[in-house]
Structure 1
Amino acid sequence: MGVTEDALAAIESLDEREQFTYQATADIYGMSRTTLSRRHWQVQGSREGQAINLQLLSPHQEEEFVKYIIELTERGLPPTREMIQNFAREVVKKEVGNGWVTRFVERNKD
Structure 2
Amino acid sequence: MSCIKATIEAIESRDPGDKFTYSEVARRFGVDRSTLSRRHQQTRGSNEAKSRNQQLLHPHQELQLLEHIDELTEAGLPPTRTMIQNFASAIAGRAASQSWVTRFFHRHPDAIISHWSTSLDRNRHRADSVYKYESYFDLLSTKMAQHHIRAQDVYNMDEKGFLIGVTRRSKRVFSKQKYETRGFKKVIQDGNRDWITVIAAICAVGSEER
TM-score w.r.t. the length of structure 1 is: 0.53
CA distance in 1, matches of 2:73, 2:88: 17
Point out which structure has higher relative CO (alpha carbons under 8 A, 6+ apart): 2
Shift of 1:61: 0.5
Question: What is aligned with 1:89?
Answer: 89
State the 1:106 CA deviation.
2.1
Residues in 1 aligned to 2:103 and 2:50: alpha-carbon distance in whole angstroms: 16
**Which amino acid letter does the alignment assign opposite residue 58 of structure 2?**
S
Greater per-residue strand proportion = 2
Higher helix content, 1 or 2: 1
> Does the C-alpha gap of structure 1 residues 94 and 64 become closer, same or farther in structure 2, counting only changes over 3 Å?
same
Matching residue of 1:78: 78
Could you say which structure has the larger radius of gyration? 2
**Runs of 4 or more consecutive aligned structure 1 residues displaced over 2 Å after TM superposition:** 46-51
For 1:101 and 1:60, the matched residues in 2 are separated by: 16
User: What is residue 69 of structure 2 aligned with on the other side?
Assistant: 69
- Superposed, 1:30-49 pairs within 5 Å as 47=46, 48-49=48-49
Unaligned runs of 5+ in 2: 1-44, 111-210
RMSD of equivalent CA atoms? 1.6
Count of aligned residue pairs for this structure pair = 65
Q: Under a length normalisation based on structure 2, what TM-score does the superposition of the two structures give?
A: 0.29
2:137 corresponds to: none
